[in-house]
Amino acid sequence: MQKINVGVVGTGFIGPAHIEALRRLPNTNVLALCEVTTELARQKADQLGIERACTFDELLKMDDIKVVHICTPNFLHYSQSKAALEAGKHVVCEKPLAKDLHEAEELVKLAKETGLVNAVHFNLRYYPLVRQMKVMREQDDLGEVYSIIGSYLQDWLFYDTDYNWRLEPDKSGDSRAIADIGSHLMDSLEYITGLKTVAVMADFNTVHKLRKKPLKPVETYSGKMLQPEDYADVPINTEDHANVLLRFDNGNRGVITVSQVSAGRKNQMKLEIAGSKKTYAWNSEAPNEMWIGNRDGANQSFMRDPSLAHPEARSVISFPGGHNEGFPDTSKQLFKEVYAAIEAGKQPENPTYPTFADGYRELLICEKILESNRKQAWVTIE
C-alpha cells in the first residue's frame, strides 16, 4: 500500500487529535509538523514522534506532502488553506473555515477550480448514532420534523480567570461560543434533519465582561495559585452564552442554547428532534445510546451496535456492540472518508464528508446569528 504523506499545521488541542486519528488509518503517514518557528516545531515533533519539523512556508515546498491539515487559530485558516490549495495540496481545515463570508466564498471557489479534496472538521457528524438518526429520517422513520431542541454546553470558561486566545476577536472572530461550538450543533442539526435554517432570532450574554489574562504561561504555574499582579484585566465583548430561535424551510421551529460557562458540562452536545412519527434524543456525553420516543407505544433505547444499525451508519462503526466508541473515533471516521477521496485523487461530486461548502454554510448561519443579536430582531438567511 502506498501511504499518503500528511503535514499537520498547529499543535494546540486539536492538532494532536488529528494526528492520533490519522495514525489509526492504514493509508496515511504523518510526515511533517509545522509551527510558528522551526525550534517549536522540532520540540513538538519530537514529543509526537514526527520525522520532519518545519515552518508553514517550508511545508508548502515539500513535494511529497500531499495533504495539509490546518489546525491553527481561526484567523489563519483562510490564508493557510488558500496557500495550501495553490501549492496543489489537498486540505482538511478546522472550523470555522474563515473569519468572514468573503474569505470563505473565495476558498470554496478556489477549491472547486483546483478539484483538490477539501474538507472541514465537523467531526461530530461522525458519531455513529448521529448518522443512524440521519438515515432513519431519510427512510421516513421520523416523519415530518415538527421541532428541534439543541444545546451545546461547556464549562472551560466558567471562571473569570479562565483565559484563551478564543476570547480575542482578532484571533477568533466576532463570535465565540456560537462560532466555536454552536457551529457543530447547527451543522449536526441540518445534517440529521435535511432541513435548512431560514431565519434566526438571537440573544447573547457575556457573563464575565472583564476577564483576568495571565501575564505568564499558565502551565508554568500548574498546581500553584497565581497572584493578583500575575493578571491583566481584559474587557470581553464575545458571548459566554447564547440562545437562538430558529425557523426552518419546512415552516416549523427550533431553539438552541450554547454556553461555555455551565459548571460540570465539559463537552455536551444534546439534540432532541421531534417528528410526526417519533422523537429522537441524543447526548454526546453518552454517545452510544439514543432515545426514541413514541406516542402510542413504549419508548425505546437504541444502543450503538453495527449488527442493528443501517448499513450507511455501520460504515462509521469499527467495534462490536458493547464496545464503546467516542470523540477520538469521530475524527478517524471522517478522515477515513476524506482519504478515500484523496486516494482517488479528486473531490467527489457528492462527498459524504463536510466540505468547504459546508464550512461556508455554517459561517453564513453564524454571521446571521451575530446580526440578529446586534439588531435584537429576526434575520433571514438567504
Is residue 104 classed as helix, strand or coil in its secondary structure? Answer: helix
Q: Which of 96, 116, 136 is the last residue of a domain?
A: 116
User: What is the overall mean pLDDT for the chain?
Assistant: 95
| Rounded Cα gap, residues 16 and 24, in angstroms | 13
- Is residue 87 scored above 70 in pLDDT? yes
Is residue 322 classed as helix, strand or coil in its secondary structure? Answer: coil
| Rounded Cα gap, residues 363 and 291, in angstroms | 30
Residues 149, 85 share a domain: no
Whole-model pTM: value is 0.94
Percent of the chain with pLDDT over 70: 98
Among 48, 141, 131, 182, which residue's Cα sits nearest to residue 325? 131
- Could you tell me if residue 94 is inside a domain? yes
For 121-196, list the strands marked E by DSSP.
145-153
Q: DSSP letters of 70-84?
A: E-S-GGGHHHHHHHH
- Could you tell me if residue 349 is inside a domain? no
- Could you tell me if residue 344 is inside a domain? no
Note the pLDDT tens digit of each residue in 174-219.
889 999 999 999 999 999 999 999 999 999 999 999 999 988 766 5
Residue recorded with cell 478522515: 335
What Cα–Cα distance (Å) separates residue 22 from each residue in 182, 263, 332? 25, 32, 6
Residues 174, 93 share a domain: no
Of 147 and 345, the structure prediction assigns the larger pLDDT to 147
Q: Which of 116, 133, 164 is the last residue of a domain?
A: 116
- Is residue 16 scored above 90 in pLDDT? yes
Note the pLDDT tens digit of each residue in 56-83.
999 999 999 999 999 999 999 999 999 9
Residues 103, 138 share a domain: no
Residues 77, 80, 85, 86, Cα dihedral to 10°: 140
- Could you tell me if residue 348 is inside a domain? no
Per-residue confidence (pLDDT) for residue 220, from 0 to 100: 45
Cis peptide bond prior to 320, omega within 30° of 0: no
Average pLDDT estimate for 265-285: 97
The conformation of residue 181, written as its DSSP 8-state character, comes to I
Residues 217, 157 share a domain: yes
| Rounded Cα gap, residues 146 and 137, in angstroms | 13
Residues 143, 106 share a domain: no
- Could you tell me if residue 143 is inside a domain? yes
Residues 140, 89 share a domain: no
Per-residue confidence (pLDDT) for residue 225, from 0 to 100: 66
Residues 373, 288 share a domain: yes
Residues 272, 129 share a domain: yes
Note the pLDDT tens digit of each residue in 21-47.
999 999 999 999 999 999 999 999 999
pLDDT band at residue 357, thresholds of 50, 70 and 90?
A: very high
Here the cell at position 176 is 465565540
Per-residue confidence (pLDDT) for residue 218, from 0 to 100: 62
Residues 75, 140 share a domain: no
CATH at 263: 3.30.360.10
Q: Exposed, middle or buried: residue 72 (CB in 10 Å: 0-12, 13-18, 19+)?
A: buried
Number of domains in the chain: 2
Give residue 53's domain range: 4-116
Residues 287, 138 share a domain: yes
CATH at 44: 3.40.50.720
Is residue 162 classed as helix, strand or coil in its secondary structure? Answer: coil
- Could you tell me if residue 350 is inside a domain? no
Q: Which of 116, 149, 181 is the last residue of a domain?
A: 116
Which helix H or strand E contains 233, and what residues bound it? strand 231-235
| Rounded Cα gap, residues 369 and 273, in angstroms | 21
Residues 147, 281 share a domain: yes
Note the pLDDT tens digit of each residue in 209-233.
999 998 876 654 455 567 777 889 9
- Could you tell me if residue 210 is inside a domain? yes
Residues 294, 183 share a domain: yes
The identity of residue 258, as a single letter, is: V
| Rounded Cα gap, residues 286 and 284, in angstroms | 5
